[in-house]
Protein backbone atom coordinates (compact mmCIF):
# COMPACT_ATOMS: atom_id res chain seq x y z
CA UNK A 1 0.00 0.00 0.00
CA UNK A 2 1.54 3.37 -0.99
CA UNK A 3 2.46 5.83 1.75
CA UNK A 4 1.64 9.54 1.63
CA UNK A 5 3.96 11.85 3.57
CA UNK A 6 1.99 14.70 5.14
CA UNK A 7 3.73 18.09 5.60
CA UNK A 8 3.68 19.63 9.08
CA UNK A 9 1.08 22.36 8.28
CA UNK A 10 -1.44 19.71 7.17
CA UNK A 11 -0.92 17.22 9.99
CA UNK A 12 -3.62 18.88 12.06
CA UNK A 13 -6.07 17.40 9.54
CA UNK A 14 -4.63 13.86 9.75
CA UNK A 15 -4.68 13.47 13.54
CA UNK A 16 -1.02 14.61 13.57
CA UNK A 17 0.07 11.66 11.42
CA UNK A 18 3.20 12.39 9.39
CA UNK A 19 2.56 9.45 7.07
CA UNK A 20 -0.66 7.78 5.98
CA UNK A 21 -0.91 4.48 4.12
CA UNK A 22 -3.55 4.67 1.39
CA UNK A 23 -4.82 2.39 -1.31
CA UNK A 24 -4.53 3.49 -4.90
CA UNK A 25 -3.11 2.32 -8.21
CA UNK A 26 -2.51 5.93 -9.30
CA UNK A 27 -1.63 9.19 -7.57
CA UNK A 28 -5.21 10.39 -8.13
CA UNK A 29 -6.70 7.34 -6.41
CA UNK A 30 -4.26 7.62 -3.50
CA UNK A 31 -5.02 11.31 -2.90
CA UNK A 32 -8.77 10.70 -3.26
CA UNK A 33 -8.54 7.92 -0.66
CA UNK A 34 -6.51 10.16 1.65
CA UNK A 35 -9.26 12.79 1.47
CA UNK A 36 -11.92 10.13 2.15
CA UNK A 37 -9.99 9.11 5.27
CA UNK A 38 -9.37 12.72 6.32
CA UNK A 39 -12.11 14.93 4.80
CA UNK A 40 -10.81 18.12 6.46
CA UNK A 41 -7.83 17.97 4.05
CA UNK A 42 -9.99 18.46 0.97
CA UNK A 43 -10.14 22.29 0.90
CA UNK A 44 -6.37 22.41 1.41
CA UNK A 45 -5.66 20.11 -1.53
CA UNK A 46 -8.52 20.76 -3.99
CA UNK A 47 -10.16 23.91 -5.33
CA UNK A 48 -13.91 24.42 -5.89
CA UNK A 49 -13.61 22.78 -9.32
CA UNK A 50 -12.35 19.56 -7.67
CA UNK A 51 -8.88 20.11 -9.18
CA UNK A 52 -5.66 19.83 -7.24
CA UNK A 53 -4.65 23.31 -6.10
CA UNK A 54 -1.74 24.73 -8.13
CA UNK A 55 0.41 25.28 -5.04
CA UNK A 56 0.14 21.63 -3.99
CA UNK A 57 3.08 19.65 -5.35
CA UNK A 58 3.20 15.88 -5.19
CA UNK A 59 6.51 14.07 -5.43
CA UNK A 60 7.02 10.39 -6.07
CA UNK A 61 10.48 9.89 -4.68
CA UNK A 62 12.53 12.74 -6.17
CA UNK A 63 10.19 13.31 -9.14
CA UNK A 64 7.40 15.87 -9.29
CA UNK A 65 4.37 14.01 -10.64
CA UNK A 66 3.87 16.89 -13.09
CA UNK A 67 7.07 15.69 -14.77
CA UNK A 68 5.72 12.12 -14.88
CA UNK A 69 2.11 11.31 -15.79
CA UNK A 70 0.47 13.82 -13.46
CA UNK A 71 -2.34 12.48 -11.32
CA UNK A 72 -2.45 9.36 -13.50
CA UNK A 73 1.09 8.38 -12.48
CA UNK A 74 0.94 4.70 -11.48
CA UNK A 75 1.90 3.70 -7.95
CA UNK A 76 3.44 0.51 -6.60
CA UNK A 77 2.64 -0.82 -3.14
CA UNK A 78 5.98 0.33 -1.68
CA UNK A 79 5.93 3.85 -3.20
CA UNK A 80 6.24 6.97 -1.05
CA UNK A 81 4.34 10.02 -2.22
CA UNK A 82 5.08 13.38 -0.60
CA UNK A 83 2.78 16.38 -0.47
CA UNK A 84 4.89 19.52 -0.65
CA UNK A 85 3.03 22.83 -0.54
CA UNK A 86 4.66 25.72 -2.38
CA UNK A 87 5.83 28.56 -0.18
CA UNK A 88 5.61 32.11 -1.45
CA UNK A 89 7.37 35.01 0.11
CA UNK A 90 8.14 38.57 -0.55
Note down the domain range covering 76: 3-85
The answer to whether the CB of 71 falls within 8 A of the CB of 28 is yes
Give how many domains the chain has, as a whole number.
Answer: 1
Q: Is the pLDDT of residue 87 over 80?
A: no
pLDDT in tens, 26-75: 999 999 999 999 999 999 999 999 888 888 999 999 999 999 999 999 99
Q: Is residue 23 domain-resident? A: yes
Q: Is residue 30 domain-resident? A: yes
Q: Is residue 90 domain-resident? A: no
What is the value of pTM for the model shown? Answer: 0.88
Q: Is residue 81 domain-resident? A: yes
Closest CA to 80 of 1, 2, 28, 24: 2
pLDDT in tens, 12-31: 999 999 999 999 999 999 99
Q: In what order do the strands lie in the sheet with 19-21?
A: 19-21, 3-5, 80-85, 56-60, 63-64
Amino acid sequence: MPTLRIPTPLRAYTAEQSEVKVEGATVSEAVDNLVKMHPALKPHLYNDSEELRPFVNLFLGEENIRDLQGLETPLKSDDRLMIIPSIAGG
